[in-house]
Amino acid sequence: MAFHHIPVLLQETLDGLAPQPGGVFADGTLGGGGHSEEILKRIGDKGVLFGIDRDEAAIAAATARLGGYPGFQAIHGNFHDVKALLPGVRLNGGLLDLGVSSYQLDTPDRGFSYHDDAPLDMRMDQGRGMTAAEYVNTVDEKEFARILRDYGDEKWAARIAQMLIEKRAEKPLATTGDLVRVVDAAIPKAVRRKDEGHPARRTFQAVRIAVNDELAPLEAALRDWVDLLLPGGRLCVITFHSVEDRIVKQTFRALQNPCTCPPKAPVCTCGKKPVGRALGGVVKAGAEELAANPRAHSATLRIFEKGRDDA
């Protein structure tokens, strides 16, 4: 299957980044290169765009697609490590489109989808880390219930975790179908019938986040990305669930108002100055995009601008 990814909130992201000829940008979640290509068109031959992705299939596909642009540089790595990946680089803008790509969802062998029975993998970088199968066959019951609640907003977390322990004692889970059957066995049929989406979607989301360690390093990564911005540079972050969005919102708020002095203190004595400001609040997809791309329903864009007086 060809690597593809329909870029969500594309125009809104371009408006937020405002790429200009000769600019230096980085896309920390390169994917199929949809956002990156539009940035490359705007920065011209003298501009530079670093495309970072932990998925080697994305790197290969994006390089084939974007290799004709002189300013494109593909980098295999995790955007959490941006300072190590881009030593000495200062950016006019950065983009993070978090979550799983259309290609990853639609390629059964990657193990992200609950619609196909396939090996239970879910790793974004298939060259490292434990698979989802290894994770669900070793995770503690209480910890699994926690990640289902925290990462999936799953109301049946305790029951699914209990069922996982029972089922894997009979036979280790090996496929996505095995995990779906755990969820089906845990959630009553009457409840599953009323679910507007697939009953396993929250469990798969939570397991994917845990396997790829998507949330724990996110705040530090956001701060690193902002630190690399030039004065007036902007970071656009697209999230797809409330936990990610909350981390982004809170981090941007802390960067905008880092003061730790008591609220009633007459003057600031902590010396912490604003790094920049969040722009425009939250941005959601419009009706036209939602009609064309159902996966944009949960997409949320937030934009942060580095202070222009900060060198």
44-79 per-position pLDDT tens digit: 999 999 999 999 999 999 999 999 999 999 999 999
Q: Are residues 47 and 91 in the same domain?
A: yes
pLDDT for 4: 54
Beta carbons of 46 and 23 less than 8 angstroms apart = no
CA 123 to each of CA 16, 72, 204, 307: distance values in angstroms, whole numbers, following the listed order: 30, 26, 12, 36
Q: What percent of the chain has pLDDT over 70?
A: 97
pLDDT of the residue at 268: 82
Residue 24's SS3 state is strand
Q: Is residue 272 part of a domain?
A: yes
* Residue 79 domain-assigned (yes or no): yes
Residue 1 lies in a domain: no
Burial class from Cβ neighbours inside 10 Å (0-12, 13-18, 19+) for residue 110 reads: buried
196 falls in which pLDDT band (50, 70, 90)? confident
Tokens of 98: 């978090």
Identify the band that residue 96 occupies on the pLDDT scale cut at 50, 70 and 90. very high
Give the model's pLDDT for residue 102: 74
DSSP string, 161-183: HHHHHHHHHHS---BHHHHHHHH
pLDDT band at 300 (very low <50, low <70, confident <90, very high): very high
pLDDT at 311 (0 to 100) = 43
For the chain, give the mean pLDDT: 93
What's the predicted TM-score (pTM) here?
Answer: 0.92
Same domain membership, residue 281 and residue 136 = no
246 and 177 in a common domain: no
Picking from 176, 211, 246, the residue at the C-terminal end of a domain is 211
What stretches of the chain adopt beta strand conformation (E)?
Answer: 24-27, 48-53, 72-76, 91-97, 229-239, 276-284, 300-306
Residue 255's pLDDT is what?
A: 97
Q: Tens digit of pLDDT for each residue in 158-171?
A: 999 999 999 999 99
Domain co-membership, 220 together with 302: yes
> Which pLDDT tens digit goes with each residue over 101-145?
777 877 888 999 999 899 999 999 999 999 999 999 999 999 999
Report yes or no on 20 lying in a domain.
yes
Measure the CA dihedral 247/252/253/255, to 10°: 120
CATH number (domain holding residue 133): 1.10.150.170
> Which H/E stretch holds residue 73?
strand 72-76
Domain assignment of residue 104, yes or no:
no
Q: What's the pLDDT score for residue 174?
A: 98
Q: Is the pLDDT of residue 267 over 90?
A: no
Please count the structural domains in the chain. Answer: 2
Domain around 207? 127-211
Domain end marker among 151, 178, 211: 211
Query: Taking residues 161-182, what's their average pLDDT?
Result: 98
> CA geometry: angle at 23 spanning 22 and 29, to 5°?
135
Query: 148 and 22 in one domain?
Result: no
Assign 3-state DSSP to the chain and report helix, strand, coil percentages, each to 5: 45, 15, 40
Q: Is the pLDDT of residue 91 over 70?
A: yes
Amino acid at 71: G
Chain-centroid distance, C-alpha 286: 21
Across the chain, which distance is largest between two alpha carbons, in Å?
65
Do 133 and 196 reside in the same domain of the chain? yes
Does residue 310 surpass a pLDDT of 70? no
CATH for 92: 3.40.50.150
